[in-house]
Every structure is written in C-alpha cells, then in structure tokens.
Chains A and B, each alone.
Chain A
Amino acid sequence: MCIGLPCLVMARNGDVGTVEYSGNSREVNLALVPQAGPGDWVLVHAGLALQIIEESAALETRALLEELDADRG
C-alpha cells in the first residue's frame, strides 16, 4: 500500500529538511511533523515525513513473547 522508510533528520529549515537513509540523502517535506528536528527519526513516504519514530514506544514485546511461548491450557 505504501512504502515508508525510517530516515534520520540531518537538517531542518522551516518545512523542508534533509534526511538520511543509510548513507543516501534527500530533501523531504517536514510540514506534518512540526516537532521533528535534527537527530530525530521520521517515517518518510513519497517525499513527505508522516510521523516521528519513537523506538522507545516498543510494543510489550516481552509479554507477547512469553504469552506466545506459554503452554496452552
């Protein structure tokens, strides 16, 4: 449906910014992520950043794994 990639914001000037993705960089529009600044990771789709990525917002993965690993009963 939509390719989106996690990119690192390198610079921001108003609504326009430069992001990096594993050594490649390009201009993207940051209008929809007003709080994003250099050092933030953003999700980019078709030249537009759609969301700030929060690695800390991890799913309760451990709980899910434990539940998955537990015997059914």
Chain B
Amino acid sequence: MKRVLLAHGDGGLYAAALLKTLFLRYFNSQELARLSDAALLPAVEGRLAVTTDSFVVQPVFFPGGDIGKLAVCGTVNDLTAAGARPLYLTASFILEEGLALDELEAVVASLSATAEACGVQVVAGDTKVVPRGQADKVYINTTGIGLADPRLVLGAERVTPGAAVILSGTAGDHGIAVLSCRDGISFRTPVKSDCAPLNRLLESVSPYYPAISWMRDPTRGGVGAVLNELAESGAADIVVEESLLPIRPEVKAASELLGLDPLYLANEGKMVIVVDENVAHNVCSALRAHPLGRDAEIIGRVEKGNGSVWLRTRLGGTRAVEMPAGLPLPRIC
C-alpha cells in the first residue's frame, strides 16, 4: 500500500508528483492547471460573499459521506445560508504522514465529484504533510466565494413576529451517523449522514426570495443552537411545535439509546429558513418538490419576546430549548 510521506509536502519532486497524479486528475479547472501562485478570476457584477471552514471529522469516512464531501457541503451551505450563489472553492489539505494514498484519493475524488455536482469550481489548493500522530489522517480547509443574490436580504433584524420557521428536512441524521462509528459507542444504524450541498435546493424557492428574512444551516449544535442564535440576535421568541419537528424514527431511537436530544445533533444538509407567514406553505411545497427537501416542515413561528426558544410538547406543555453546552456525549442517566 502506498502512503503519504513527509516528502510529499516538501515542495519538491514528490509534491509535484502528488499534484499531477492525484489532485489535477480530479480538478479540471483551468485556473488550477496553470499552477500559478494565485487564481485570477473573472470580474463579477454584484457583491461577493466569502466564507472559510476547516473540517476535522472523525471518522474520515462515515455512512453517507466522507470528509471530502463534507468540506464542499459545509462551505457551499454557508454561502447559501448567507444568500449567495457559490461559485468557487479553494481546498487546503493537511495530511498525516502514513495516510494511505488510496484513502486520500477517495477523499479527493469525493470532494471533486461533490463540487462538480453542485456547480462549484475548485480554483486553488494546497497540501501540507505533518509527522505521523500530529494529525488524524486528513484535515481539509475550504474557502468559498459566492455571488450575493440581491433578492435575498437576510438578517435577524428583518425577522418579525408571525414569520414561519421552516426546517428543510429531518434533524440529527449526520450526528447519529457519525456517532454510530465512534469507538466505544458502536451500534448499527440505517441512518446515513444528510451531508449534501443545498445551493440547488434553495434555488428551487427563488420566487420567494424577497419573503425570506433569515437562513442558517444547523451544523454543530443542531437546530437548537441555530434557533437560539436567531432568537438572541433578533430579540424575539421562537416557538417550535414538537409534533411538527421532522425527525426520523431511527434517529429518535438512536438518540434515546445514547441519551441525546436530536435538537442538538449536527446536520450537514439542512437549512433553517424564516419566511413570511403568507408564503410559508408555498415555500415548504417548493422545498418538498426537490429531493433534498422532501421532509421539509414548518416547525414553528417567531413570536414577540426577549430571545428565548420554546418547544410546545405533544402533551401541550412548554419547555425552553437552551443553547447546548458541551459536546453531545452518550449517557446512561
């Protein structure tokens, strides 16, 4: 088995070979192929959106995805949530000495295929190798550049009481899929990560862009954290109906098994969208017409208040949904 060597990161012949035999095979961008120090991109009209994110998922390959796919989805979804159409990505790899080249290739192939599928070009990249034990196989940083859509004017200050809160699909899938592989916790689950780029899903609701006031992709910290961010920054309350929350039965069950709350589990292919009440059902139907939005639901409403999130339970009780503190850990109590 061929492995990543420290020499692959030294800028010499090994590095050049890795670039040619692996990275350039998967990324056919003219900008990248020029191998210059920086990509020169054509001028665009409008405002640019830039975001950056680092990915350190363990395990690197998980049911429904891998770190390569995740590195594209995470950044594309951040651009999308900011109201921008993603155009370009950069990808920076930190590799652990000893990583199997086959595994690296699988990650690169997945990253490239995901980028291509959502219409985003990888225009710059970098690779570094650290001694064995100083990283966990592979870390990836991606920076994304997108073009802000002038029809989308987003901000917590635009969120008004009465607005509907939509979740584009089931909550907690990614969190459970990744936890199921962890050492010491292992259980078998049919749940796969929801890891997916959402730019195309959001394009499917473009007729309603002016009615959308706020969006966020509920990654780490889950839907619970994102709703708290909105409530706090918008100084309004959010009231969520427990009976309307889309959660797969397997996810709910696995959460119970581990003593976790699905509201705080990570998602990698979901969007929380706040939209005017009068078009909420249209937006929801449009989302459901797209394969990535099939399970979209209006989960709650924005109400006058001072920044709290409430859940109306199935019995009609009300409880506060707090900001999560600490990582979700399996519990016995």
Contacts and interface: CB of A to CB of B under 8 A. Distances in A.
Given A1-B333, A3-B259, A21 B253 contact: yes
Interface stretch (B55-63, B144-152, B185-193): B185-193
B257 interface: yes
Nearest to B190: A23
Contacts of B191: 23-24
A45 B331 CA distance: 10
A25 B180 CA distance: 10
B332 A24 contact: no
A24 B189 contact: yes
Given A23-B189, A25-B187, A5 B250 contact: no
Given A5-B256, A5-B257, A22 B250 contact: yes
B254 to A, nearest CB: 5
B186 A26 contact: yes
B200 interface: no
A59 B187 CA distance: 33
B333 A25 contact: no
A16 interface: no
Contacts of A25: 187-189
A46 interface: yes
A3 B253 contact: no
A3 B332 CA distance: 5
Interface residues of B, number: 18
B249 interface: yes
A31 to B, nearest CB: 18
A2 interface: yes
Interface string B176-207: 00001000001111110000000000000000
B294 interface: no
Contact of B331 (A3, A21, A22, A24): A3
Q: Which of A2, A5, A24, A26 has the most CB of B within 10 A?
A: A24
Interface string A19-49: 0011111100000000000000000011000
A43 B66 CA distance: 35
Contact of A24 (B250, B259, B333): B250
Given A2-B333, A3-B332, A45-B332, A24 B253 contact: yes
B169 to A, nearest CB: 18
12 contacts: A3-B256, A3-B259, A5-B257, A21-B256, A22-B252, A22-B254, A23-B189, A24-B188, A24-B189, A24-B190, A25-B188, A25-B189
Given A23-B191, A24-B180, 11 more contacts: A3-B331, A21-B256, A22-B249, A22-B253, A24-B188, A24-B253, A24-B254, A24-B257, A25-B189, A26-B187, A45-B332
